[in-house]
Amino acid sequence: MTSVAGNQPHNKLPIVILISGRGSNMLAIAERAANGELPVEVRAVISDKADAAGLATAAAMNIPTRSLSAKEFADRASYDRALAALVQSFEPELIVLAGFMRILSPGFIAAFADRILNIHPSLLPLYRGLHTHRRALEAGDILHGCSVHFVTEELDGGPLVIQSQVKVLPGDSESSLSARVQQQEHRIYSQAIDWFARRRLQLREQQAWLDGRPLDAPVIQTASD
C-alpha cells in the first residue's frame, strides 16, 4: 500500500463500515487499521442483518457493532433515516460499504454527501448489480475485476476511483473467479481508504479527485502489480 511521507494525518480518520454478511472486506480493513497500516479508526460495524457473521468477527476485534433490521420500519425512507442517525452517532468522516446489500435512499446519501465509498465486484460500468462473476463468465470476458467508487444516487454508478483487473482463466467457475477478485478487493479498497484518510482523495462536483487532479478514468491495477 502506498505510503507518502508528509501526508500522514495527525489523527486517524474515523470510519463506520456497513455490512450484510461475513464482511471479508471489513475484516481486511479492520486488520490493516489495527496493524497501523491504514490510518483509520473503525468506530463501528453496522449490519442490516442481526445474524451477519461479520458482526461476530468485528466484536472479537473489540469493534462496536450494531444491527438495524428493515423489518422494523414501515418503509425504506424511515429505515434509512434511522440508519443515518445510528451511523452519525459514531461521528464518522467516511462511510465504507463492504458488502452492504441494501440500496441506499437519496436521503441517506445526502446526509453523508461526498464521503461514502463502495467496492463492487466488476470492472464498472460493466455488470452493475448482482451476479457479476456469472455474467462475466457467460459473456466470455478475458478480464474481470473490481472497482472502488464514490456512492451517489445512481446504483453502482458513482465516480470511479480505482480498479483491479483479474484474468479470467480457462475452466474458471464463479467461485474460483470470485476468490481471486476478492483478494484484489481487499487490496484496492484499503488503497482508496488510505488516499481518503490522507486527504489525497476527494469527491468534488460529482468527480473523483486524486492529489489535486480530477480522475478522468480510474486508477488501474492488475493482480500482478
Binding site, annotated residues for (6R)-10-formyltetrahydrofolate: 76, 101-104, 118
The per-residue b/e assignment along 15-42, b for 16 or more CB within 10 angstroms, e otherwise, is: bbbbbbbebbbbbbbbebbeeeebbbbb
Is the omega angle on the peptide bond into residue 214 within 30 degrees of 0, that is, cis?
A: no
CB atoms within 10 A of CB 140: 7
Q: Which residue in 10, 120, 144, 149 is the catalytic one? A: 120
Question: Nearest Cα to 122, choosing from 218, 1, 225, 58?
Answer: 218
> Would you list which residues are annotated within the binding site?
23-25, 76, 101-104, 118
Rounded CA separation 94/115 (Å): 5
Q: Catalytic annotation on 120?
A: yes
> Which single residue is written with the C-alpha cell 480493513?
29
For the chain, give the longest Cα–Cα distance: 50
Residue 169 DSSP SS3: coil
- Beta bridge partners, 210, equal 201, 213
The per-residue b/e assignment along 171-180, b for 16 or more CB within 10 angstroms, e otherwise, is: ebeeeebbeb
User: Which positions are annotated as active-site residues?
Assistant: 120
